[in-house]
Amino acid sequence: MVKKIIVILYLITPFHLLAANTIQYIEKFSGNVTDGILDKYHQSISIETYHEYSDLQLIITNSDNFILFSIIIEPKNWQIFETNSVLKYLDGEKDNSHNQLYIGSLPFMGIDYQAIDLIYKHDDFKKFIKSNELEIMVKDLVLKVNLKKLPLSKLKLK
């Protein structure tokens, strides 16, 4: 069910059409998606382990009720994995505030991507705005997100 919701959000989110090489804040969408942020050229996100990739994107989509925090990776030399376990540290402190998660394959336009999708209620996501760094560990993959580089305060949270 979570995977289906995530695929639908990707289909209605026009982020994949953007060609700019900067972090983008998108103010208007259709349907329940109100706004979002795209880092298509990994200015705020990095892989801290040996994993090579062809593409790495951070997509934050805001709806009326929740935030979808998505990391999309096109792996080069490793197999896509599925799990229901993730370790997250917000400014060095363990964080388990996500409501749901999906970690697995995301086939899109003929390419299989590694998806790491975390769903948050607006109240749980508000602490990200005041934080500096998010570290995400899934199996042997370690990612760091510099939250200060993202315009999180622009998101229309309830």
Dump pLDDT digits (tens) for 13-53: 444 444 444 567 776 666 666 788 888 877 899 999 999 99
Distance CA 21, CA 56 (A): 13
CA distances from residue 36 to 40, 60, 88, 154 in whole angstroms, order as listed: 13, 5, 21, 9
> Is the pLDDT score of 63 beyond 90?
no
pLDDT at res. 126: 94
Could you give the CA distance from residue 72 to residue 75 in angstroms, rounded to a whole number? 10
pTM: 0.83
